[in-house]
Structure 1
Amino acid sequence: MTDVSREAVYQPPSELAEKYKGGIQRHTAVTPHPSASVPGSTRIKLVESFYIRPRWLFVRIETEGGVVGWGEGTLEGHTEAVQGSLKDISRRIVGWDAMNIEDIYTYLYRHRFYRGGEVLMSAISGIDIALWDIKGKVLGVPVWQLLGGAVRERCEVYGWIGGDRPSDVLEQAKVRKAQGFTKVKMNATESIGWLDSPHALDETVKRLAEVKSIGLDAGLDFHGRVHKAMAKQLAQQLEPHRPLFIEEPLLPGHVNELKDLYNKTTIPIALGERLFTRLDVRPYFEAGCIDIIQPDIAHAGGISETKKIAIMAEAYDIGVAPHCPLGPLAFAASLQVGFSTPNFVICEMSWKMHYNVGGFDLFTYMTNPDVFAVKNGHIDLLTAPGLGIELNEDLIRKEAAEAAKLEPWQNPIFRGPDGSVREW
């Protein structure tokens, strides 16, 4: 007699398994630019940069064949330094073939002996993103096609609530939910001392509980403000409330200390906006002290280096969540990586973020903002050639002329009651 209780039970395929049993099926028309078949047409003719409000630095590259690519090299609080680096880079690469992205990247990174760092890598980022935009437009395909094709049909995104000094997060969370977000991020604390009162952490826990009460998941950005003595207390208090992740719980560089914290908590740990190359992220991967890497595509070396970091992260079972409190070009570039990267998890979106003041926001310089519509917490696959967004160049040039008369954006300064500088 057969013991039916021990027979194998096979479940039918899920609806999603049935839907995608043939893989991702998204046809995109391929129409190369007319200059694509003209010898010499893809040589770089002109490189320009534009500082525009609220705090972004755009890069424009034009080829001899008339194809224009846009990139972003925003480095908040260091605009003039990046502009200087871009001026130097621009005179070096005019005449080079814009299609040879890896050759240009390798030259800019390796040729001048001193390499890496936030200023040079941000300048290279702006150039690199613009070159990928050009290549996609010349060939008539979105960038994700050039990165191996789509592995998903949409990318998950999160919006910000609370500002630099988090408050009123519940009301802001309700607005984000109405906008279509299912996940948000907020700063964990205000200015906090190296060793502060444990009660300084009470409001953080309360805020997280409030946001989760309306059905949203929330990541908490420690922003490197919280030093080791307080970080381990805060992680312990947050654990029962299950945040989506904690970001920069300690300052970059403290690999061993981060590993100690990692071993004390089950909360996913994210980090990476102040790491700029594969060499910078390598110690964190090898130490096994993070769950999510957050390269900023406008700082880390553009699409080229961000994609390589993502591939490297997959070997360590680390997810990729691009850091992007920046403009539409950095956001579009981050999504292009996300569409083609298996271990992508979520991307930051700066729409209506607290830094976007004075009437300037993510969509201000775009002529096709509908491509960034948030639907159930996701952005649909971008299908237009290149980065997939269109910009109002006349408005950019006009605003750059006005912004040039002003002081570039500077980050706030935090000080304690004794007058000493605190981490922002």
Structure 2
Amino acid sequence: MMTAGFVYQGSRRMSTSRRKFIKQSCALAAVAAVPRSGNGWFERARRQRDKIRITNVERFVFYLPYHDFHAKALFRYHGPNIQARTVFKVSTNVGLVGWGESWGVSPFSDEDRRRYVGSSPFDWLAARKDLPMNMAAYDLMGKYLEIPAWKMIGPQVRTRIPVAAWTVSQEPEALQREVKHAASLGYRWIKYHIDEIQNVLDQTRAMQEVAPKGFRVHFDFNVNSTLSHVEPILREMEKFPVVGRIEDPIRISETEGWRHLTETCKSEILVHHGPAEFMNRGLCDGSMAGHAPIGSAIRVAALADSAGLPFMLQQCGGFINQAFLAHEASVFPQATLDHCNLALHWNDHVCRQPMPVVDGMVDVPQGPGLGIEVVEEKVRQAAQLPPPAYEPFLVKIMYTNGPTIVARHLPHREGHTDDLRIMKRLLGDTFPGPQPGYNNPVRSEMWDDLDDPLFQKVWKQTENQRYVVL
């Protein structure tokens, strides 16, 4: 797959010569990034920065619908916390409005309001906090100076950026539908967290059967396992061309295990929940910055530059969020991995025009600021709608020639959004069956037959106990 001047092949090991090629390519990209003319906007900003002031910050939380085919699966897996989006409208004394966005319900305290109101958007250049407010500040600065946001981050090295779809772990046939849907929208990659209640090899085999040629999957291994458990699984997975990248394969403390996988795996090994400095120590093939404020993203980009390795951004939200991500990734020379955003996850939007994915890429918006138009009326209307309601269901974990374990999953409760990934979170410290892992003979389904007397019996039993064995 050709991506911004780099060739990545998920089915072939990154050889020494390939690493050298990547480093040379990164160096050439850095040279190409040298500005060819003066930054006139910088002088204008220096003279005029104190003439624009933030006068108000409004916060809107809403829950736009998912696509029908996976709406129930996504909501049940992560609850309303993932479906929620928070949009910030930032007003100024000069009549300009900036927009920012995050996924989930982002807090905004009175202290936050005092910190921003009265300040200049230029006070927040390269800020290391509040990603959604970073977006609004860069939107305002760009509109004020009549330049695109990327100019205030650095010289642009690409006008299109590679992007990836995202989903949750499901039954193999459900992941087949996810792959086909993502491909139909123009994506060439899809990312998801594997979990201990499905078999990742069964999932991989199923996705391979339906994936278009060149389509790849990015597997997140949750940074919770060991080399001895994960390596045999990776060797089997890598027999399938659809396997492209492995994120957080083992615990961060097993640094030599990271080195071993990086040196021997065909797939690219990425670090997320660990030091980005792994790139400079030969412990990974690249890095991911998740929901990173602009200042933190700049730091990761600098580390990637010094290591000569690629990295990606993951900051989930709609088109406001994706527009800012595109401006960032258009500037960072090594930001060549497929960036993850949920913009096409929802079946409705609050922006005038979408950002379509074409051959795995989206264009960097060209207008001033973020370069997109937010329809304020749609934002306000969406914020008036109630959040989706939790409906009773049970998780049925079925082992071949072993127990069937049934439990409640309550992702809407604080601290329980990700319980399905790790069985101890869902079931407690002790439960029947084999040692939890990613290649057990297991398949799990959501059970919601409210008219079934057995369902009602188990539902009542799980009021006071973590699980029931059928």
Q: TM-score, normalised by structure 1?
A: 0.70
Matched residue SS, 1:315: helix
Aligned: 1:210 with 2:216: no
Partner residue, 1:281: 276
Matched residue SS, 1:138: helix
CA distance in 1 between counterparts of 2:379 and 2:437 reads 33
Which amino acid letter does the alignment assign opposite residue 210 of structure 1? E
Which amino acid letter does the alignment assign opposite residue 175 of structure 1? H
1:101 is displaced (CA, Å) by 2.1
Matched residue SS, 2:351: coil
Aligned: 1:58 with 2:87: yes
Aligned: 1:173 with 2:179: yes
CA distance in 2 between counterparts of 1:317 and 1:128 reads 27
Aligned: 1:156 with 2:166: no
Task: Indicate conservation of the 8 Å contact 2:163/2:339, yes or no.
Answer: yes
Q: Deviations over 1:127-160 (max 9, x none)?
A: 2221111111111111112222321121112223
1:83 is displaced (CA, Å) by 0.7
Partner residue, 2:96: 67
Task: Indicate conservation of the 8 Å contact 1:36/1:138, yes or no.
Answer: no
Task: Indicate conservation of the 8 Å contact 2:179/2:211, yes or no.
Answer: no
Q: 1:365 aligns with which of 341, 345, 350?
A: 350
- Higher mean displacement: 409-418 or 393-402: 409-418
Q: Deviations over 1:227-275 (max 9, x none)?
A: 5443222222122335221122235565454334334423211232x56
CA distance in 1 between counterparts of 2:388 and 2:362 reads 36
Q: 2:362 aligns with which of 376, 379, 386?
A: 379
Partner residue, 2:107: 83
Change (3 A) 1:271 1:55: farther
CA distance in 2 between counterparts of 1:379 and 1:293 reads 21
Matched residue SS, 2:147: coil
Aligned: 1:136 with 2:167: no
Structure 1 vs Structure 2 CA RMSD: 3.9
Partner residue, 1:11: none
Task: Indicate conservation of the 8 Å contact 1:166/1:189, yes or no.
Answer: no
CA distance in 1 between counterparts of 2:292 and 2:306 reads 19
1:190 is displaced (CA, Å) by 4.8
Task: Indicate conservation of the 8 Å contact 1:166/1:190, yes or no.
Answer: no
CA distance in 2 between counterparts of 1:23 and 1:102 reads 20
Which amino acid letter does the alignment assign opposite residue 279 of structure 2? F
1:336 is displaced (CA, Å) by 0.7
Q: 1:305 aligns with which of 289, 296, 308?
A: 296
- Higher mean displacement: 380-389 or 49-58: 49-58
Partner residue, 2:403: none
Which amino acid letter does the alignment assign opposite residue 378 of structure 1? M
Partner residue, 1:197: none
Change (3 A) 1:397 1:212: closer
CA distance in 1 between counterparts of 2:236 and 2:387 reads 46
1:347 is displaced (CA, Å) by 1.3
Q: What does 1:17-416 correspond to in 2, within 5 Å?
A: 40-53=50-63, 54-74=83-103, 76=104, 79=105, 82-84=106-108, 86-102=109-125, 105=127, 121=129, 124-160=130-166, 163-168=168-173, 169-191=175-197, 200-212=199-211, 214-224=213-223, 226-242=225-241, 243-251=243-251, 255=255, 257-272=257-272, 274=273, 280-282=275-277, 284-296=278-290, 299-301=291-293, 303-345=294-336, 346-353=338-345, 356=346, 361=347, 363-369=348-354, 372-403=355-386, 411-414=417-420, 416=423
Contiguous gaps of at least 5 residues in structure 2:
1-31, 35-39, 64-82, 391-410, 430-435, 439-470
Change (3 A) 1:47 1:423: farther
CA distance in 2 between counterparts of 1:91 and 1:406 reads 34
1:339 is displaced (CA, Å) by 1.2
- Higher mean displacement: 249-258 or 374-383: 249-258
1:406 is displaced (CA, Å) by 7.6
Identity of aligned residues (%): 20
CA distance in 1 between counterparts of 2:91 and 2:165 reads 33
1:373 is displaced (CA, Å) by 1.3
Name the one with the larger strand percent: 2
Q: Deviations over 1:191-248 (max 9, x none)?
A: 36xxxxxxx4531441353255644222222234655443222222122335221122
Which amino acid letter does the alignment assign opposite residue 145 of structure 1? K
1:180 is displaced (CA, Å) by 2.1
Change (3 A) 1:253 1:409: farther
Change (3 A) 1:382 1:287: same
Partner residue, 2:21: none
Which amino acid letter does the alignment assign opposite residue 172 of structure 2? S
Contiguous gaps of at least 5 residues in structure 1:
1-21, 25-29, 110-120, 193-199
Task: Indicate conservation of the 8 Å contact 1:208/1:241, yes or no.
Answer: no
Task: Indicate conservation of the 8 Å contact 1:180/1:374, yes or no.
Answer: yes
